[in-house]
């Protein structure tokens, strides 16, 4: 009786061992590649998968998107500026059989391809391009890495440049360059303003020229505006004084001067001084 019980226990243990060796459960995001005597049979999953013990072997592959952080890479740009660049890559397996058969380790292989491509692409770009055109560089990186990993059944969906570290001396140089650029723009804007103002003055002169009375009225208005401060002295060229109404400047040896004086009683008055011949 004891021998029978021992045999039953042994058979039960063997059955459990065989069952555990022949049954696999795959999650929704997992697929299994079945090898039978070393040959690829098919792709299975998700759910319950039955295998032949000691004959079949199952290799799992995940279909979820994997976040691959590319460590900082030392890159020398096209204009010979050393920078440290970090990036991140998102990929997923779309063909489990090829991801198992064609490459030993998908994660490691994709990492090496991403690092090499990052240094190669960014080394062909200038620093200004690297800082200002990241979207274009991201698209180029994604396309190149995806083409290289496609035979492995891997789809690279996104590549993003996270950070670009510039040496401190280059930061100072970039700051000086930005300041010079702002000064240049300020001078250009000022010159454009002077040009537009000169054009408007030319148009105004063309309108005033046919009518001398208009020029005289504008001169008097300018005198009133410039004499707003007390004790001010305004010197006018001889040609401008000829435009004043009722004033003859024939034979005057020096420019005329207009002074603002405040009498003891009464309002302010303008006094015109000059020299007679």
b/e sequence 202-220, b meaning 16+ C-beta within 10 Å: eeeeeeeeeeeeeeeeebe
DSSP class per residue in 161-214:
EEEEE--HHHHHHHHHHHHHHHHHHHHHHHHHHHHHHHHHHHHHHHHHTT-HHH
Task: Name residue, tokens 């000169």.
Answer: 198
Task: List the one residue out of 36, 64, 32 whose CA is nearest residue 48.
Answer: 32
pTM: 0.62
Residues 17-51 pLDDT 10s: 666 777 888 999 999 999 988 899 889 888 888 88
Question: Could you report how far apart the first and last alpha carbons of the chain are, in Å?
Answer: 155
For the chain, which residues score pLDDT lower than 50? 246-277
> Using CA atoms, how far apart are residues 84 and 161, in angstroms rounded to an integer?
11
- Summarised one tens digit per residue, pLDDT across range 178-214 is 888 889 999 999 999 999 988 888 887 787 777 777 7
């Amino acid at each position: 009786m004891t021998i029978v019980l021992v045999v039953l226990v042994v058979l039960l243990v063997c059955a459990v061992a065989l069952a555990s060796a022949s049954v696999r459960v795959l999650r929704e995001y997992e697929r299994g590649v079945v090898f039978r005597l070393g040959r690829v049979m098919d792709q299975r999953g998700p759910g319950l998968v039955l295998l032949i013990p000691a004959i079949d072997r199952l290799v799992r592959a995940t279909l979820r998107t994997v976040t691959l952080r590319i460590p900082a890479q030392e890159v020398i740009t096209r204009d010979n500026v050393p920078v440290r660049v970090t990036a991140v890559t998102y990929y997923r397996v779309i063909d489990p059989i090829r991801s198992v058969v064609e490459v030993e380790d998908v994660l490691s292989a994709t990492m090496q391809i991403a690092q090499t491509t990052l240094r190669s692409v960014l080394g062909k770009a200038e620093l200004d391009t690297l800082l200002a055109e990241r979207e274009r560089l991201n698209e180029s990186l994604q396309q190149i890495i995806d083409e290289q990993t496609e035979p492995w059944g891997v789809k690279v969906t996104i590549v993003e440049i996270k950070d670009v570290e510039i040496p401190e001396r280059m930061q100072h140089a970039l700051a000086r360059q930005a300041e010079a650029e702002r000064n240049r723009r300020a001078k250009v804007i000022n010159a454009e303003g002077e040009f537009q103002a000169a054009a408007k003055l030319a148009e105004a002169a063309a309108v005033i020229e046919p009518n001398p009375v208009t020029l005289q009225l504008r001169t008097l208005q300018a005198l009133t505006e410039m004499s707003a401060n007390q004790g001010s002295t305004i010197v006018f060229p001889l040609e401008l004084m000829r435009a004043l109404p009722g004033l003859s400047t024939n034979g005057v040896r020096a420019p005329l001067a207009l002074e603002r004086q405040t009498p003891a009683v009464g309002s302010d008055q303008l006094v015109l001084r000059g020299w007679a011949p």
